[in-house]
Every structure is written in structure tokens, then in C-alpha cells.
Amino acid sequence: MTTKRSGSYARVVDPRGVGAAAASALTRADAEYAGVSSLERLEIQLLLEGVFRHYGHDFRSYAFSSLRRRLRKRLEAEGLDTFSALQSLLLHDPEAMDRLLRDMSVNVTGMFRDPTFFHALRQKVVPILRTYPFVRIWHAGCATGEEVYALAIMLEEEGLYERSRIYATDMNSDALEKAKTGIFPLARMREYTSNYLQGGGTRSFSEYYSANYDAALFDPKLRRNVLFAQHNLATDTSFSEFNLILCRNVLIYFDRQLKERVYKLFADSLASFGILCLGRRESLRFTAVETEYEEFDARERIYRRRR
């Protein structure tokens, strides 16, 4: 078992963009541990290949462990025993494919998640943005949009929103439709209010929404300068130049090769001295673009292009 597998799985997880040493370590690890569920792994690869070739949805470069978890959930929900059976269902039943798509593209989000990050954004990044006559922002992987509204609120309070444009993108059109409504569960407002205040909010958070049964409807004026659009980080290219890009806890679902692709895409999409914000446990270290940035706030994972 330790010698045989040269491994097509290795190609799935094996990043082209990293050093050869790391790559060979991965291949070796893969070969050593492939014994238990190698058949299941093969079935998953075939399923992903089939989905890609038949529907064009490409999940082949997703982080394998999270991907397998989500696929297993779909497998159980469909009452099937093997990924081969699931593959057959997906290929012959577009509605089953839609259900899988929803599973695959749901990213959990919230308002002012990580208040210290929003505090740093307000205290350190806003003063830089203020020096520009016009501020262009890309919120990549915005899911159902909570963080987009949070950003709009912050810009509004800093007197910067009138000259800002937020391009909020996600691969999931259902999520974008939800984001456009600005309706979020009322039950979460207590948590969001607390986050908002810790993150440096200057007003009363309840000014921004009206409660209706169990829903909080956010002021439609908050999205007057937001453009929601479908964009797939895995396959689409750069579409403009930005002063600020936020992409938090999205790339953790991608394998290293795809992460490298997206980091390159961001570097190509940032104006000189543009700012990139990642999630609390993500970083650019060991990536090909690392040297193009300085750590602007290392703790909050805010980077700034060197030129």
C-alpha cells in the first residue's frame, strides 16, 4: 500500500504553484495514507469530473476534506450508499444537481464577524481610502450579503459612501438574490449589534433596519452604491481595478493551486497600494504573491500592495 499509488488524487490536491519539495511531500503522504478510502476517493474524483464535463461546474480544485464532507451530506440526503450512485443521479437529474450546487456554494456569513477586524478597517484603512476621489471596492464571495451591508454602514458613518462603489460578487445566484433583498433573520440582530459596537460603530444599530415579524429589513439606501453580480473565483477573470478587496473565509474551501490562482487574480485587480483583506486564519505566506504585499495589519490579515 505504501508503494503502489502514484495517485490521481495527488493531482487533485497537488498544487502546481508550490515548491517541488512541498509537492513531493504531499504525494508521498497521499501514497502512504491512501489505503482506507481510496476507492471512495476515486469515486469522488469521477463524480467531480462528470459534473464538470456535463454541467461545467468545476469543483475539482476544492479542498478535498471539506468537499468530501459536503458531498457526504448530499449522499445521505438523497438516501444513496455510494458516490458512484450519486454521480449517476446527478448526471441524469438536473434537479439533483441543483440541490448539490446549493450545498456546495453555501458560505456561512454574518455582520461584523470579527469586530476587531472591522475596527482596524475603520481606524486604519478608511483614512487611506479618504485620500482617493473615488473608492472602488470588490467584495469577493459575498454569499448572502451580510458583510456587504456591514461595509456600507461603516462607509456611510465615515462619510465615504457617496463616493464609493461596492462590487459584491458570488458564484451562487440564489445567494445574490437574497443579498439584494437586504432581509436577514431578526434573531441575529442582538449578536450583530454587539459586533457593530465592538467594531467601532458610531450610531444606534437599530437605525439601519426595521423589524417585521422575524425578519430585519435593512434600509434599501444602504445598497444604492452596491452592484451585485455573479462571478466565479475558480473560473472567471479580473473585471476591473479596485482600491480595496475583501475576501474573508472563502478561499479556505479551495486547494492550494486554486488559491494561488485567486491570489494572482486579486493582485491583478488591485490598484497601486491597494488593500487586500483576508479571514482571521488566512494568510499570503508561502504564496507566489507574498512579496508583492506588505503586512498592513498582520493581526487582522490586512495586506497592502507595495506598488
Partner 1 sequence: MTTDAAARARMRPDLIVVGASAGGLKALEMVLGALPRGFPVPIVAVQHRARESGDTFVEVLGRGSPLPVHEVEDDDQLRAPGVYLAPPDYHVLIEPGRVSLSVDDPVSYSRPSIDVLFESAADAYGERVCAVLLTGANADGAKGLVRIKQAGGYAIVQDPHTAESPEMPAAGIASAAVDVVLPLEQIASELVRRAAT
Binding footprint of partner 1 on the chain (CB under 8 A):
13, 22, 25-26, 29-30, 32-33, 35-37, 63-66, 68-70, 107-108, 249, 251-253, 256, 259, 279-283, 286
Q: C-beta of 301: minimal distance to partner 1 in Å? A: 10
Q: Where are the beta strands (DSSP E) in 80-157?
A: 135-140
Q: C-beta of 253: minimal distance to partner 1 in Å? A: 7
Closest to partner 1 by CB, 4 vs 92, is 4
Q: C-beta of 255: minimal distance to partner 1 in Å? A: 9
Distance CA 68, CA 86 (A): 13
Closest to partner 1 by CB, 88 vs 283, is 283
The answer for residues whose C-beta is within 8 angstroms of residue 283's C-beta and 6 or more apart is: 301
Closest to partner 1 by CB, 239 vs 286, is 286
Contacts 24+ apart (CB under 8 A), 4-10: 4/31, 5/30, 5/31, 5/34, 5/38, 6/31, 7/31, 7/34, 8/42, 8/45, 9/34, 9/38, 9/41, 9/42, 9/45, 9/64
Closest to partner 1 by CB, 219 vs 295, is 295
Please state, as a whole number, how many other Cβ atoms lie within 10 Å of the Cβ of residue 91. Answer: 16
Closest to partner 1 by CB, 13 vs 179, is 13
Closest to partner 1 by CB, 281 vs 307, is 281
Q: C-beta of 252: minimal distance to partner 1 in Å? A: 5
Pairing of strands 135-140, 164-170: parallel
Distance CA 276, CA 303 (A): 5
Q: C-beta of 156: minimal distance to partner 1 in Å? A: 26
Task: Classify 185 as helix, strand or coil.
Answer: strand
Q: C-beta of 102: minimal distance to partner 1 in Å? A: 13
Task: Classify 251 as helix, strand or coil.
Answer: helix
